[in-house]
Amino acid sequence: MVIRRGLRSILVTLALYLVSSAAVGYFMFHAQHGARGLEALGGLREKLGEMETELAGLSDERQDWEKRLGLMRDEAVDRDLLEERARIMLGRVHRNDVVVMGR
């Protein structure tokens, strides 16, 4: 009887350790490799860096457009800007202009 009780207590204790270590292993694995794990966090940080770079470029472009629109909104429109826009819209060039064709 004493051997069975001792064997049973050892087996129950061993089973509890196995189940708890399996649960801890499961959660640790998913903390590292899961959809919201540490590896996914690294990917998100890379994507954030790319988006911040894109945002900086777009902010510069926006400031450029705001500057150009400011020139168009004034009471006296900038003649160079007006001429440039008219040439682009009409597809005309001045006889002294050099046209460089892109791709």
pTM: 0.49
The reply to whether 102 falls in a domain is no
CA angle 47, 52, 57 (to 5 degrees): 125
Query: Domains in the chain: how many in total?
Result: 1
Indicate the SS3 state at residue 100.
Answer: coil
The reply to whether 2 falls in a domain is no
Separation between Cα atoms, residue 79 and residue 66, nearest integer Å: 17
* Contact (CB, 8 A) for 81 and 64: no
The reply to whether 4 falls in a domain is no
The reply to whether 21 falls in a domain is yes
For residue range 68-79, list pLDDT tens digits in order.
888 777 677 777
The reply to whether 103 falls in a domain is no
Separation between Cα atoms, residue 55 and residue 41, nearest integer Å: 20
At 2 the pLDDT is: 57
SS3 content of the chain, % helix, strand, coil (to 5): 80, 0, 20
For residue range 15-55, list pLDDT tens digits in order.
999 999 999 999 999 999 988 888 888 899 999 999 999 99
Domain that includes residue 48, residue range: 9-90
The reply to whether 37 falls in a domain is yes
